[in-house]
Structure 1
């Protein structure tokens, strides 16, 4: 399976497991989500120009696998990375995922956040709750689940893991989301396909442009709290 296929096809079984793993905690967090769900990330004046975006989303030749520049003609400029006003009760250093608006926020001090454009799960696989970064990896191995292999027998060749590459669905960086010590099968991952940003494409995972994912990855250590807002 290529990275493009991962972005455009649901991960079989991921959404169901994620829903179950977070369902038990949903009732306990309703109050918190009632507050968070109504909060908005208001734009600061300015934002990246096209020329600035060309630099921010340029090629990454020094990576283990050279990452191409983002085709800016295939992404709305509202999804460019930027600092925004973001009033929230979440502590600085928290990652907030807003599937309604296709944004991921990294909460900062004094009512600000860094905002990234994202792709999110397909409507039938949307879920909400709280998680944390249980582990993280650069150029990770991707291993399809049994359900995925059952749906697409060609994936059996990757049962032992797909080596890192530009074709690897998880891309250059990945944050693995956990709850109560268990991997939820959901991630925040890197994509080289700008046309997926602002779309629902997976069955539980969230993707950022590789250049944005490197930016977030450097700021989000293991144990970073993650809040997924209701859709």
Structure 2
């Protein structure tokens, strides 16, 4: 997918455990980085690719613990209710009072589909239909069968909920949405949209509203590990 996000200055995050003074211009295409997870047994960060992700999900029925929804310490000048997306680390933060945030694991854009900017939620839909854009049909002719729209449901690529991201009152064509592939959380796998598992996107959907501010960090402006 491609977006129409205008050039904006990104938030400079400060405080314990956060990147300080990092800014960038959107809608810059962010170079996607490979995902990693922490191996507690070997005490090291290891690559986390689609094959490993599917094996893990088949073995445990869930994603690694770090990608599960949880309340974490989070220092930011942004108001509670703001969404901050750290694509490098595959986390979405929903800012809460008292320097905390609800952290969700996400899947993000693969190489060439990363992006960054400051947008807002312009539309919210439960069990949305999905229509592949012409660019996707050109890349993947199999998607042409849904050129007039795929009805919402458990097999729909947008999953249980979709929050459509707008800039200047216009649809950027990027979304925060669910997924029919829950094993894909923590990976660079989408065409630029931000995906959560269906339970998490339903939870997030219940906590936000139209006009919610969404900050998508550039590659290289990720929050430090351990936050």
Paired residue for 2:111? 123
CA RMSD of aligned residues (A): 1.9
Q: Gaps (5+ residues) in structure 2?
A: 21-56, 220-227
TM-score by length of 2: 0.73
Greater fraction of residues in helix = 1
Q: C-alpha offsets along residues 112-171 of structure 1, whole Å, 9 cap, x if unaligned? A: 110001111113221111000000100111011112222333333212111112111101
Offset, 1:34: 6.0
The alignment partner of 1:115 has SS state of strand
Task: Please list every run of at least 4 consecutive aligned residues from structure 1 whose deviation after the TM superposition is greater than 6 angstroms.
Answer: none
Name which of 188, 199, 203 aligns with 1:211. Answer: 199
Q: Gaps (5+ residues) in structure 1?
A: 1-13, 40-69
- Whether the 8 Å CA contact 2:163–2:177 is kept in 1: the answer is yes
Determine if the alignment matches structure 1 residue 168 to structure 2 residue 156.
yes
TM-score by length of 1: 0.72
Matches of residues 14-93 of structure 1 in structure 2 within 5 Å? 14=1, 17-18=2-3, 21-22=4-5, 24-26=6-8, 29-30=9-10, 32-33=11-12, 38=19, 72-93=60-81
Q: C-alpha offsets along residues 29-75 of structure 1, whole Å, 9 cap, x if unaligned? A: 14x34659716xxxxxxxxxxxxxxxxxxxxxxxxxxxxxx864451
- Whether the 8 Å CA contact 2:83–2:93 is kept in 1: the answer is yes
Q: 2:179 and 2:113 mapped to 1: Cα distance?
A: 19
Determine if the alignment matches structure 1 residue 190 to structure 2 residue 181.
no
Name which of 139, 142, 157 aligns with 2:127. Answer: 139
Paired residue for 2:101? 113
What is the number of equivalent residue pairs in this alignment?
180
Paired residue for 2:82? 94
Q: 1:202 and 1:88 mapped to 2: Cα distance?
A: 28
Distance 1:34 1:91, change over 3 A: closer
